[in-house]
Amino acid sequence: MNTETARFNMIEQQIRPWEVLDQDVLSLLATVRREDFVPPAMRALAFVDTQVPLIAGEPDGPHMLEPKVEARLLQELQLQRHEKVLEIGTGSGFMAALLAHRALFVHTLECRPVLAQTARDKLRRNGIANVTVHEVSAAAGARGLPGEAPFDAIVLSGSVAEVPAALLAQLKVGGRLVAVVGELPMMRARLYTRVGDAAWSDTDLFDTVAPRLEGFAEPTGFHF
């Protein structure tokens, strides 16, 4: 596989058609080596339009999101170089790497010890020093990182039934949160913006499906 050709085709054939037109984001995707963050056994899928499983033997476990989804979420955040970011669901560490190139500092939370350590190693090998990977329980991850709040931006790198108010409260006024929200068969990427002390607006971005983040509450079913 010609890596640079595959990377170029990923950008031109998958990412641009998904309305990712911010040249800074596109240039970043051409620079940060996605293949370095894919599990070695899955390296052939680094530039494919698919979710990549991160733990062998867990087909329903954590995955890297599709390149076009990662790119679109990054674009929608409109990060500035002075901003502080929280990510929930470190996974491979690739999204944290992208965020780190756009922001001042990134805190990222991971409940799987093997993924947390692997992400640290990969970020270090790629020369990314402005990220701290926090190994937390799933329940703690769902509560965010209040000790470091407020944040300019929060990213949920996976899906949730709904975004907890406690996470939205960790945004600065003017801060943004992106998440994939809902239930199968169709979920929706959504952008939340804090507009006041206890007020948020939200905008639907696009339909997609993403693996569940662990630790977040699921809707209670009705029983008769």
Residue 163, domain CATH = 3.40.50.150
Q: What is the pLDDT of residue 57?
A: 86
* Residues with pLDDT less than 70, the chain: 1, 220-224
Q: What is the pLDDT of residue 56?
A: 87
In a domain, 121, yes or no: yes
Range(s) of the domain holding residue 183? 3-208
In a domain, 18, yes or no: yes
In a domain, 106, yes or no: yes
In a domain, 161, yes or no: yes
Kindly report whether the global pTM for this prediction surpasses the value 0.75.
Answer: yes
Residue 107 near residue 87, CB atoms below 8 Å: yes
In a domain, 71, yes or no: yes
The token duo for 212 is 């569940």
Q: 47 CB contacts (<8 Å, ≥6 apart)?
A: 6, 7, 9, 10, 34, 35, 67
Q: What is the pLDDT of residue 173?
A: 96
Could you tell me where the DSSP H helices lie in the chain? 3-9, 23-31, 67-77, 94-102, 113-125, 138-142, 165-168
Q: What is the pLDDT of residue 60?
A: 84
Q: What is the pLDDT of residue 163?
A: 96
Q: What is the pLDDT of residue 186?
A: 87
Nearest to 106 by CA among 155, 179, 158, 167: 155
- Domain total of the chain: 1
Residue 174 near residue 151, CB atoms below 8 Å: no
pLDDT digits (tens, 9 = 90+) for 53-108: 999 888 888 999 999 999 999 999 999 999 999 999 999 999 999 999 999 999 99
CA–CA separation, 73 vs 52, rounded Å? 17
What sign does the dihedral 109-113-118-120 (CA atoms) show?
positive
Q: What is the pLDDT of residue 129?
A: 97
Q: What are phi and psi of 59, to 5 degrees?
A: -65, -25
In a domain, 215, yes or no: no
Q: What is the pLDDT of residue 222?
A: 46
In a domain, 30, yes or no: yes
In a domain, 224, yes or no: no
